[in-house]
Structure formats: structure tokens, C-alpha cells
Structure 1
Amino acid sequence: MKNKMTPVRLHLELSDDYLSDYQRRMLKRYGESSDGKSITRDILIPSDMPLHNLHYTIQKLFGWQNSHLRRFILPDDIYQQLTGNTVKGWANLVGVLFQAPSEATKDLFWDDDYKSGSINTWLRKKYTGPYVYGGIMEHPEIAKRDIQELLERFETIEVQESFDSFLARKKSNKNAGAKVLKTDSLINLTLDEMNATIFLEGGTESLLERLEVNKLLASPDEELTSDEWFPVTKELLYNYDFGDDWVVKITKPHDCEDLLEQNRLGEDELEEARNTVIDKHKPVCIHKEGISVLDDVGGLSGFADFLGTIYEEDNKEEASQARTWARSFGWNAAKISCKKML
């Protein structure tokens, strides 16, 4: 297996397009972000790493503690292209690309068994191979059975108007009720019609976490064709904590030449990282820009405000309380070398 496994580079960018000028300054001044808009990591992963184990890798890389929901999704244009925005198009891909409707409430978190001790040690075990996916709902035949049960349950369904449409009518008529647009089978609906009519806890966009990252993602110069299922995209999105709404954009550069040319990485360091990936079956961070964040801080904008509080707040007691609160989430301002990130 080690002979077949190869190191694969990923570039991960945690960003927010809606930061204020003040928040950008704080990220540049104290968060070690060069552009004030993002925190990035470049890593090498084993070529057989599934999305499930990449999740734990991302948690460790950015300083989170696996305490909220997450999902891997495709960019909207790719998702629309693959599904045609139809229930039928989505249903055909359940068990192939997308999670089954019941997965969010059953066994997506089949190995989230942390109880005590070092969270970092626990995370390390999760992203170190060999990789085995133990969830039940992601088996293709079980996923297909699950989606078929959903379709059969709604052979006839009253299609509701969208919530936005209902609110628009409610403004002009306070007594307005939800409008039924038509009656049809679920399989004949668009995804918009289905989502306006029934609630699926896990939605329809979440990717199967058993899928291997390297097979799912294409490099920039790799062509995406309709002849093969994989790869399906040149960009992947990791969404963590739906309240704070952290979003990490994941791409797969063809090689590491840009880091070498910019002297951000040495040839000897790259060789050592490659050997570690193969010999220890684990990912390695080869370049980072920006410090670690933390849970429950309010996303990247909240983190920038937090940095402003602890470094520039005139009220020393408030700054001290903010630091103490952050330390309760395992956060500290100490610089960590790339080698020790994972």
C-alpha cells in the first residue's frame, strides 16, 4: 500500500469577504495574515485520505476542537450542473456523491468518541492512516435504499411556495397563509420546490465523507469531463459551525513549485514532508500563513475583533478576560512551526 500511496498537496484558505477595514487591520497586525482577509495552510496528505479524515486534519490545522457540525460541499455552479437542480438529478447521485437523507441523524459522527485527555492527540489518531470508514449510511446500497424510501413516502405531495414568496405576500396581506402551488410526485420536483415543501435535516448538498479527496478534486490543469464521475470539481468547500459559518476553500495545486520558487519551502523540507506522509501515513503542513483561530468566537470577523480586544483594548480587565476565555478553548498566541501543526 505504501508503494501505491503518494503525497498530494492541498491548499486551504479560510476567508471572509465581508470584513471591515478595522478587522482586516487586526488580522494583518496580530493574526499574521498578509492580506488581512484570509488564513491559509498548505499541506501534503496521503493520496488515499477520505474527506472524513480530512475533516479532523482541518480541525487541527485551524485550531478548532471538533465541537460543532460540519459538511463538505461543492461550489454552487458545480452542484447545479451535476444535479440539474432537480430531485431526480440529486437522487441519482445519492450514494455516489451525496449523503443519504437520513445520514445526518444516524451515523455521520460514528467515530466522534472523544471523552477526555488531549484533544490534539485524539485528532492526530483520526487523521493518521490506515483509513477505514465505519459509517453505515454511506454504503451505496444502503444510501440508495434510503433515498428510495423518501421518494416512495412522497409519491404525492402538495408543493408549497418558497418562504421568500410567502414573506413577500405577507407584507401586503397580514392574513395570508402559505400557498400550495401544485400537487405532484417528489421525484418530479426541482430541488427548490422540494426544499420549500419538506425539511431534510442534512440538506441535499453534503458530500459522502468516505470519498477520497484526491479522486474528488482536480488540479488546475486537469480537465473535468462528463465521461467519468471523478474528479468532479477543482474546488471544494468545508463548512464548519453553521452558526459562526466558517468556510475553508480547498484546492489541489499541481505541485509545490510556487512555494519553492518563493522560498517559502526548501527542497530538503519538502523531501522530508513527502517521506513522512508515506512512512507514517499522515498529513504534513508545509506552509502556513496566519495564526490559529478558535471555536465560538463568531467566525473570522469575530476572531479579528477578539484580536483587537486582547491587544488594543484600553480596559485591561476586559482584555484579560478575553484571553482567559480563549485559553478555555485551547487557544494561545504562541507561534507553531509547520512541522508541529499536525
Structure 2
Amino acid sequence: MTKMQREIKPVRLRLELISDYCHSDEKVMLKRYGESSSGDRITREVLIPSDMTLHVLHYAMQKLFGWQNSHLRQFNLPKDVYQELTQGTVKGWSDLVGVLFQPPSEAEHDVFWDDDYDSGNFNAWLRRKYTGPYQYGGYFEQSDVARADVNQLLDRFEELEIQEPFSDYLKRKQTDPAAKPKVLGKKALVDMTLDEMNAAIVMESGTESLMESLVITDVLGYADEELSGSGFPVTQALYYEYDYGDSWIVKVTKLESCEDLVADHSVTQEEVDAAREVVLTKHKPVCLSRDGVDVMDDVGGLSGFANFLRAINEPEDKEEAADFRRWARSMGWKQKKIVPKKML
């Protein structure tokens, strides 16, 4: 079934900006000044058109969390799902290239096929990106191109040295500073485990990035859905990583209804109905509710943002706090509240 043949339906996603590295005092800052009810995450509840792709979701999340689309990103599966699908082998991974995973060459440039912003209203530019109809123009995600690309990689390395695990090498080096990595044997790349491949060659793109042409509702099951283990959907959660330096991580889950949001008064049923109408008539996502303020680029991830909030709200140096505020404004950060339905 082509995307044009799909019956468009509103689908609810929960987007949770999370971090495993926030200290207790940083969580206090996020709760006190970042309007995070939990103190350990910033959340957006959205309705999306059911034909939205991961590529389009990237642009919507840039707007929803306050980023400026100025760093690299990728979508990944949970580690246990990735392991189960690939069995930790090069063959298991390569068989899914062009089906789930990006081909080796895509990280060079192809995923950025429509990053064409150069001037004007940035938010208006983003809005065009996440408003349908949705098309994906990336060359390497065409199935035959992706297959040819990964096969070229496999053919290129018909025999490779298998290096010992790096952890084993480090242990030996502690007792023998002159130790060198051991070569355990030779194999064709296709016969290696993923760990063996990663020790033998450097692949800039890695193996875990999902194809951005994937339709979200195909790959992502409901949060409480029992998956069959064969075919789509393949997971109950996705992870979006933005800016590998700051390492912003957004957990994406799909929920069957909005009843809980109505029950806890995050949104009214009338607002849900109005959002559904916008999704269907304007072919664009709608934010139902927000928990936590917008963040910004280059602040050091969620921990750095918490420290930024401390610096401007509980300053030890008022002049320094003013400098921080000026810098934040230059990064597009605004402290004023925005009604959820107007966020996208």
C-alpha cells in the first residue's frame, strides 16, 4: 500500500525528553523553574497524521522542544529489540538494511536531502516540513539502492582480521604496558558478529540508525501492544538522539487514546476533538499538552539546561545571569509560555 492510499487517522504519541545523568539538585531546578512535574523529563503529548514518517517527526520535535536543527540526529530501537532483530550479527543487520536500517553510505549526506533552510522565518520553514502530504526524497533509502550499498560493503571485506575485545586488551595492558591487540583469526565480514565488525573497521554511520522514510505507525506498536516478533510493528518504543555532543534523547511511544489526558485535566475532550479535526483537515500534527519549558541547542543536554535555569533564576552574579539570558535569546530560547495547540 502506498502512502497516498493510506486512510489518514489521528495517532497519539508521547515524546519524553529524558536523561540518565541528571543529579538530584538538577532535577530540583527542572521542577522549580523548568515546569517539569517530575523533575526528570520534559514531555509533549501530540496527535500526528498516521502517515507521518520518522523524517518528518524529526522536524516536529525540533519545534516542540525548541531546537534549531543545527546538529546531527538519528532514530534508534531499544537495545534489546535491536539485539533480538539482528542477533548481534553482521548478516542479521545487513538483511534488514533497506527494510529497517539505513545503509552504510547514508550518514555521509543523504539523510539531509531537504535541509534547505538558509534565511527567513525558521519556524515557518519547520512548519512546512511537518505539514503533509509527506514524501521522502532520500536516494539511499530506496530499497534497491540500500541493498546494493550494503552488499558493496560486504563484498569489499571478504576477509578481515578478528581483533580481541577491546576490554580484554585493556586488562592485559594493565599488567603488560607493551601489550598489543591480539588477532584471533580471520573471517569474511558477513560472517562476523557486529562486535567483531566494529573492532575491525570504522563505519561512521554505525549500524543502528533507522531509515527515516519509515512510517511511524508501521514500525511503532502501542505501548502495551504484544508484538508478534515477525513483521511490523517491531517495537513499543523508539529513541531519537539529537546532537551527539549534548546527547539529547527523546523516547517516543504510541498510545491508543487520550482518555488519561482528559481524566487528569491536561486537556478537555473538546480540545482533543478539535485537534483531531486539524490533523485530518490540515494534515499536520497538533500538540495536546506540554510538561516542561522549551530547551535550546548547545547548553549541555538536560543537565546543562538545568544548570542554566539555576544560573538565571538563582544567580550568584547578576551580570553573568544577564549574559546567560542574552545568549539564550540568541539561541532562539523564549521563556514565555505557549499554548500547546499553537506550538506546531
Fold shared per TM-score above 0.5: yes
Structure 1: segments with no counterpart, 5+ residues? none
1:211 equivalenced with 2:247 (yes/no): no
Q: Give the letter aligned to residue 35 of structure 2.
A: E
| Structure 2: gaps of 5 or more residues | none
Could you tell me which amino acid in structure 1 is paired with residue 179 of structure 2? Answer: A
- Is it true that 1:256 corresponds to 2:228 in the alignment? no
- In the TM superposition, what are the counterparts of 1:225-304 in structure 2 within 5 Å? 225-227=228-230, 229-304=231-306
2:162/2:199 contact within 8 Å kept: yes
Pairing 1:153-192 to 2, within 5 Å after superposition: 153-192=156-195
CA separation of 1:105 and 1:71: change in aligned 2, threshold 3 A: same
Q: Corresponding residue for 1:116?
A: 119
Identify if the C-alpha distance between structure 1 residues 36 and 82 changes in structure 2 by more than 3 Å, giving closer, same or farther: same
Q: Show the counterpart of 2:308.
A: 306
Aligned residues of 2:17 and 2:43 also touching (Cα < 8 A) = yes
Secondary structure (helix, strand or coil) at the match of 2:270 reads helix
1:163 deviates by 2.8
The match for 2:14 is 11
Conserved 8 A contact 2:223-2:237? no
156 and 189 in structure 1: CA distance in 2 versus 1, 3 angstrom threshold = same
What do you get for the CA RMSD once the two structures are aligned? 1.2
* 1:174 CA drift (Å): 1.8
Match of 1:73 among 76, 80, 92: 76
- Taking every aligned residue pair, what percent have the same amino acid on both sides? 57
Contact in 1 for aligned 2:293/2:335 (Cα 8 Å): yes
Deviation of 1:264 (Å): 1.1
Q: How far did 1:118 drift? A: 1.8
Secondary structure class of the residue paired with 1:202: coil
Partner Cα separation in structure 1 for residue 306 and residue 184 of structure 2: 45
1:336 is displaced (CA, Å) by 0.8
Tell me if structure 1 keeps the 8 A contact 2:18–2:250: yes
Residue pair 1:245, 1:299 contacting (<8 A) in 2 also: yes
Write out per-residue CA displacement over residues 164-201 of structure 1, whole angstroms, 9 at most, x where no aligned residue.
Answer: 33222222222222221110111111101101111111
Question: How many residues are paired up?
Answer: 341
Aligned mates of 2:27, 2:286 — CA distance in 1: 28
Distance 1:208 1:127 in 2: 17
- Amino acid of the residue matched to residue 177 of structure 1? K
SS for the counterpart of 1:12 is strand
Shift of residue 285, structure 1, vs aligned partner: 0.1
CA–CA separation in structure 1 for the residues paired with 2:322 and 2:176: 52
Classify 1:2/1:225 alpha carbon distance in 2 versus 1 (closer, same or farther; 3 Å): closer
1:223 aligns with 2:222: no
Residue 141, structure 1, aligned to residue 144, structure 2: yes
Is the 1:2–1:279 contact (alpha carbons within 8 Å) kept by the matching residues of 2?
no
3-state SS of 2:110 partner:
coil
Residue in 2 that maps onto 1:32: 35
Partner Cα distance (1:173, 1:33) in 2? 50
Of 322, 328, 336 in structure 1, the residue corresponding to residue 330 of structure 2 is 328
Q: Measure the CA separation in 2 of the matches of 1:239 and 1:289.
A: 20
